[in-house]
Amino acid sequence: MLWIVGLRQKSYRLATAFAMCSLCHTPAAQVLSRARTFVTLFFVPVAPVTTRYQTTCTMCGGAVKLTKEAADRLLSTVQAAPATGPLPEALVTPPPSEPS
Ligand SMILES: [Zn+2]
């Protein structure tokens, strides 16, 4: 019997928040997304193998990887705050410090 097994990646947009970008230091919409890689059997996704979270700046296109805990915290912050409310603090990250 022939088994057709493979991998497929799917990306989901979870939320969008207006916040300060940690890369270009400009207030812009940040898209929180989740990318999952699935094992497929006969081209049908069966089980997720890996899951990655990231925010993408709509101004500069820069992406920042997040842990699952950080993504969950950010998602709950975005869902709890109204669209015109204060900036979610989870997205306002200080720039990496320069070694002196
Ligand atoms: Zn940016």
Distances in whole angstroms, Cα of residue 51 to Cα of each of 38, 61, 66, 68, 88: 9, 21, 11, 9, 23
Ligand 1 center from residue 40 Cα (angstroms): 35
Per-residue confidence band for 79, with pLDDT thresholds at 50, 70 and 90: confident
Ligand 1 center from residue 50 Cα (angstroms): 26
| Per-residue confidence (pLDDT) for residue 18, from 0 to 100 | 87
Summarised one tens digit per residue, pLDDT across range 32-63 is 999 999 999 999 999 999 999 999 999 999 99
Per-residue confidence band for 77, with pLDDT thresholds at 50, 70 and 90: confident
Ligand 1 center from residue 46 Cα (angstroms): 35
